[in-house]
């Protein structure tokens, strides 16, 4: 199963994504997940949703974030080499923080770099999309019964503000600081090892494998849900490998994992 969320004739749609000739296509309508209440309301009101449409290239679609989460939970320092490159101890437990929903940004959207920061970094990450309400999961939980699928995210970070502020709310939470997409897929297996790459203006800057997670997927799910109930559609960003670095206005960041497409976003100074 691979799907995306996009705009067609100003209507939100879900599309089945298929790979043909090495390219990703939106082949036809997909059913909406239960948590997208705005979509379901529009459907009830007969806004023409569910109508068929001609196949279109994913890259030519007006994509939206493929998820409508109730929260975005992030894991910091989940790759040993990234913890060390920032001079941090390798943690004994996962480090958790939130990004606000207002930071969500569609694939292709422009990240606005705030004037209050002089160092905005990219962090390419694999993100899990939760499939059902879960709380207090066991450390040996079968994650396939909890996770609907996987997508890509950029945990954009104002590194100077992260160091300056006691809490990371501002550094991690500016509007547009959470690009997500382009698709959700359950056809990839992070436990078998997924190769994540981040490019800046075409140059390879991050190269990591999910085999190098400090904390396994069941361990993350158990640790998070010991404190926080996860709902269908919630996002869990699983941390970034080494190679993070500062960006300048005009840069373009592309994050990719085979089978999940490419999440591409450009960066620009916030006009305000």
Rounded CA separation 250/22 (Å): 29
Q: Rank residues 123 and 254 by Cβ distance to Mg ion and give the closer one.
A: 123
First vs last Cα of the chain: how many Å apart?
A: 41
Of 150-158, 173-181, 190-198, 254-262, which part binds Mg ion (CB under 5 A)?
Answer: 150-158
* 155 near Mg ion, rule: CB under 5 A: yes
Query: In the bound complex, what is the minimum distance in angstroms from residue 178's beta carbon to Mg ion?
Result: 10
Say if residues 174 and 186 touch (Cβ distance below 8 Å): no
Query: In the bound complex, what is the minimum distance in angstroms from residue 94's beta carbon to Mg ion?
Result: 12
Q: Rank residues 12 and 73 by Cβ distance to Mg ion and give the closer one.
A: 73
Query: In the bound complex, what is the minimum distance in angstroms from residue 123's beta carbon to Mg ion?
Result: 4
Of 4-12, 55-63, 153-161, 186-194, which part binds Mg ion (CB under 5 A)?
Answer: 153-161
| x/- letters, 213..242, toward Mg ion (CB under 5 A) | ---------------------------x--
Query: Total binding residues for Mg ion by CB under 5 A?
Result: 3
* 103 near Mg ion, rule: CB under 5 A: no
| Interface with Mg ion (CB under 5 A), residue from 36, 121, 123, 197 | 123
Look up residue 24 and give its two tokens.
């990703």
Residues 6+ apart with CB under 8 A from 258: 188, 194, 195
Number of residue whose CB is nearest Mg ion: 155
Rounded CA separation 73/25 (Å): 30
DSSP 8-state symbol, 90: P
Closest CA to 242 of 264, 200, 209, 193: 209
Rounded CA separation 263/55 (Å): 21
For tokens 């990450």, what's the residue? 125
Q: Which parts of this chain interact with Mg ion (CB under 5 A)? A: 123, 155, 240
């Amino acid at each position: 199963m691979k799907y995306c969320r996009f705009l067609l004739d100003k209507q939100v749609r879900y599309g089945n994504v298929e790979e043909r000739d090495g390219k990703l296509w939106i082949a036809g309508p997909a059913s909406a997940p239960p948590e997208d209440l705005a979509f379901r309301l529009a459907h009830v009101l007969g806004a023409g949703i569910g109508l068929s449409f001609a196949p279109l290239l994913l890259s030519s679609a007006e994509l939206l974030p493929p998820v409508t989460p109730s929260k975005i939970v992030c894991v910091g320092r989940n790759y040993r080499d990234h913890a060390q490159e920032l001079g941090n101890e390798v943690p004994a437990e996962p480090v958790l923080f939130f990004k606000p929903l207002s930071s969500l940004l569609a694939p292709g959207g422009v990240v606005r770099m705030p004037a209050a920061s002089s160092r905005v970094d990219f962090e390419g990450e694999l993100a899990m999309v939760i499939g059902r309400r879960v709380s207090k999961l066991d450390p040996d939980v079968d994650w396939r019964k909890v996770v609907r699928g996987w997508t890509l995210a950029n945990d954009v970070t104002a590194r100077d503000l992260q160091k300056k502020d006691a809490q990371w709310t501002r550094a991690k939470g500016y509007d547009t600081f959470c690009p997500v997409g382009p698709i959700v897929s359950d056809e990839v297996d992070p436990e078998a090892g997924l190769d994540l790459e981040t490019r800046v203006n075409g140059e390879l800057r991050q190269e990591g494998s999910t085999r190098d997670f400090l904390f396994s997927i069941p361990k993350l799910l158990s640790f998070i849900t010991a404190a926080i109930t996860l709902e269908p559609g919630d996002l869990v960003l699983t941390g970034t490998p080494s190679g993070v670095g500062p960006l300048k206005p005009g840069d373009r960041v592309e994050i990719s994992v085979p089978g999940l497409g490419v999440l591409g976003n450009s960066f620009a100074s916030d006009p305000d």
